[in-house]
């Protein structure tokens, strides 16, 4: 079926672009904090060693920053090329945070980046330090607005549908900005960047120790990075707890899929791996109450009554009400000029069923269930790898503080091999977040099949493979430049 193929290829292309982009973003967020901390040590102590150390990691930051911009720009263009129905339907809302990000945050980041990278001998120490911190803060602010937009797709708030313009229009900007999902997602994403930057710095520094060079530089870098990484990982855990509560409240199907929970209820178990469960743990994580009710996949499809007496309709009822909303919308548009009274009645029916409008595009209950196996294992990869990396950072910091790290070859290798693992954990997290809300582009409001552009499958396929080549080339170029800089090293004398 052409429609299905178009949706699948459009989703695949966007996933490709987003996945590549997220290879660069977390390292930017993490390295920014680490190198700013190092420069702060330089300003406080006056030790030129910290200046040279900062400049080395700043060079790697700049390489990564440049390539990340290219993939990010393409990502935003795809909303217009591949998802034009989505852009029309909610562009007034979704476009606002993206515009703010481009006009304010990105320009702030780019301006202070120039001072930071080229201004070492042109501005005072303190001004340069401020520019370095502001570059990192600009990157975080940029992430704020991107994540506000993304979180609105997870939990749409602050808008209402205007049947006359066929668009959702913003009515409360601060509801959009202070969306609880956005707050949790911001901290979770930014602090995961701290973790990524820390593992990157630790791994590269351990490579120097394996080569028996740049020893003082490597040990000092490991100390700073491990502290930043440990703080960041604990913050990721805390924000992850908040994200779980938000998912249980606003995206229960995502939570049920991540746990492979078919039948829910009070004292819902947490699945470690299939067949190994902790009784009641999911209820504690999702509701902070051992007796908290967590619906499973079948409960959500069949309909259920929550302990507070609220009746949640079945999938079939939601689809039926969605079709009534779409039909009433069509009647309103048709009768508006010829029969105002009938149009007013149609609008009343539309508003009564608007909460289920998106369900009207679905044809079966099965469409409401995301790919459970993929989400289930992606969640465990994210949590499992994250926990292992936290333990690794503690061990590395312990070994560094006792001067044993250069002799512990297994730990040096483990730290180097941890670099691809931290990226794997980050990608797994986004799989849970984005694949977990399928079939929705906007949760409960607009499914992917209704959001895609009217373009040919061949056009999307062509650009997909073109992007594969371009992005892979970008990645290979970045890796080559990074490795050349790493092999050259900081060249700090008197180690």
- Share of residues in the chain with pLDDT > 90 (%): 76
Kindly state the average pLDDT of the residues 171-197.
Answer: 94
Per-residue pLDDT at 360 exceeds 90: yes
Q: Which of the residue ranges 94-103, 120-129, 167-176 would you say has the lowest mean pLDDT?
A: 94-103
- Share of residues in the chain with pLDDT > 70 (%): 99
Taking the CB of residue 148, how many other CB atoms lie within 10 A of it? 24
Please give the Cα distance from 10 to 81 (Å, whole number).
10
Work out the angle at residue 61's Cα, subtended by the Cα atoms of residues 60 and 66, and round it to the nearest 5 degrees.
105
Question: Cβ neighbours of residue 141 under 8 Å, at least 6 residues apart?
Answer: 104, 105, 108, 109
Per-residue pLDDT at 33 exceeds 70: yes
pLDDT band per the 50, 70, 90 thresholds, residue 1: very low
> What is the pLDDT at residue 493?
59
**Most confidently modeled of 63-77, 83-97, 479-493?**
479-493
> What is the pLDDT at residue 96?
84
Q: What is the pLDDT of residues 130-139, one digit of tens each?
A: 999 999 998 8
Nearest to 392 by CA among 413, 411, 409: 411
- Global confidence as pTM: 0.93
Tokens of 196: 């990524």
247-277: burial string, b at 16+ Cβ within 10 Å, e else:
bbebbbbbbbbbbbbeebbebbbbbeeeeee
> What is the pLDDT at residue 495?
46
Tokens of 55: 């400049």
Backbone dihedral region for residue 198 (phi beyond 0: left; psi -120 to 50: alpha; all else: beta): alpha
> What is the pLDDT at residue 77?
80
Instruction: Map the chain to HEC letters.
Output: CHHHHHHHHHHHHHHHHHHHHHHHHHHHHHHHHHHHHHHHHHHHHCCHHHHHHHHHHHHHHHHHHHHHHHHHHHHHHHHHHCCHHHHHHHHHHHHHHHHHHHHHHHHHHHHHHHHHHHCCCCCCHHHHHHHHHHHHHHHHHHHHHHHHHHHHHHCCCCEEEECCCCEEEECCHHHHHCCHHHHHHHHHHHHHHHHHHHHHHHHHHHHHHHCCCCHHHHHHHHHHHHHHHHHHHHHHHHHHHHHHHHHHHHCHHHHHHHHCCCCCEECCCEEEECCEEECCHHHHHHHCCCCCEECCHHHHHHCEECCCCCEECCHHHHHHHHHHHHHHHHHHHHHCCCCHHHHHHHHHHHHHHHHHHHHHHCCCHHHHCCCHHHHHHHHHHHHHHHHHHHHHHHHHHHHHHCCCHHHCHHHHHHHHHHHHHHHHHHHHHHHHHHHCCCCEEECCCEEHHHHCCCCCHHHHHHHHHHHHHHHHHHHHHHHHHHHHHHHHCCCCCCC
Per-residue pLDDT at 85 exceeds 50: yes
406 versus 92: the higher-pLDDT residue is 406
> What is the pLDDT at residue 351?
93
Q: What is the pLDDT of residues 401-449, one digit of tens each?
A: 999 999 999 999 999 999 999 999 999 999 999 999 999 999 989 999 9
Per-residue pLDDT at 100 exceeds 90: no
Q: What is the pLDDT of residues 266-303, one digit of tens each?
A: 999 999 999 899 999 999 999 999 999 999 999 999 99
Per-residue pLDDT at 2 exceeds 50: no
């Amino acid at each position: 079926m052409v429609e299905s193929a178009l949706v699948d290829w459009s989703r695949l292309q966007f996933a490709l672009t987003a996945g590549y982009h997220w290879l660069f973003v977390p390292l930017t967020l993490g390295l920014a904090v680490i190198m700013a901390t190092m420069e702060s040590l330089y300003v406080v102590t006056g030790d030129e060693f910290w200046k040279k150390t900062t400049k080395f990691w700043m060079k790697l930051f700049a390489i990564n920053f440049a390539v990340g911009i290219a993939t990010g720009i393409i990502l935003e263009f795809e909303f217009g090329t591949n998802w034009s129905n989505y852009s029309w339907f909610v562009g007034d809302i979704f476009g606002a945070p993206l515009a703010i990000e481009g006009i304010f945050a990105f320009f702030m980041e780019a301006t202070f980046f120039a001072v930071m990278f080229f201004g070492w001998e042109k501005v005072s120490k303190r001004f340069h330090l401020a520019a370095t911190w502001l570059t990192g803060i600009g990157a975080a602010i940029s992430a704020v607005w991107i994540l506000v937009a993304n979180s609105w797709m997870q939990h749409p708030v602050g808008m209402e549908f205007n049947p006359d313009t066929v668009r959702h229009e913003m009515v409360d900007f601060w509801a959009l900005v202070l969306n609880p999902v956005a707050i949790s997602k911001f901290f979770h994403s930014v602090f995961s960047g701290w973790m990524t930057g820390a593992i990157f710095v630790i791994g590269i520094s351990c490579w120097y120790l394996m080569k028996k060079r740049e020893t003082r530089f490597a040990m000092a870098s490991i100390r700073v990075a491990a502290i930043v990484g440990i703080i960041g990982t604990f913050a990721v855990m805390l924000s992850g707890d908040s994200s779980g509560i938000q998912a249980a409240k606003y995206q229960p199907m995502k939570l049920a899929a991540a746990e492979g929970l078919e039948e829910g209820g009070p004292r819902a178990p947490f699945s470690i791996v299939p067949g190994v469960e902790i009784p009641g743990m999911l209820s504690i994580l999702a509701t902070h109450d051992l007796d908290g009710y967590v619906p499973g996949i079948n409960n959500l499809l069949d309909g259920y009554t929550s302990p507070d007496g609220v009746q949640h309709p079945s999938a079939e009822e939601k689809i039926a009400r969605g079709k009534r909303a779409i039909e009433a919308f069509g009647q309103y548009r048709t009768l508006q000029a010829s029969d105002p009274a009938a149009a007013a009645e149609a609008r009343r029916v539309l508003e009564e069923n608007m909460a289920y409008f998106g369900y009207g595009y679905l044809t079966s209950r099965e469409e409401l269930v995301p790919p459970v196996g993929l989400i289930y294992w992606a969640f465990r990869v994210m949590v499992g790898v994250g926990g292992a990396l936290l333990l690794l950072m503690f061990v590395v910091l312990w070994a560094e503080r006792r001067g044993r790290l250069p002799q512990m070859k297994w730990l040096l290798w483990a730290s180097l091999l941890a670099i691809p693992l931290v990226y794997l954990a980050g990608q797994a997290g986004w799989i849970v977040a984005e694949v977990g809300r399928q079939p929705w582009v906007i949760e409960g409001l607009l499914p992917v099949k209704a959001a895609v552009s009217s373009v040919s499958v061949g056009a999307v396929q062509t650009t997909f493979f073109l992007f594969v080549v371009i992005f892979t080339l970008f990645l290979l170029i970045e890796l080559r430049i990074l490795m050349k800089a790493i092999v050259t090293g900081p060249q700090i004398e008197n180690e």
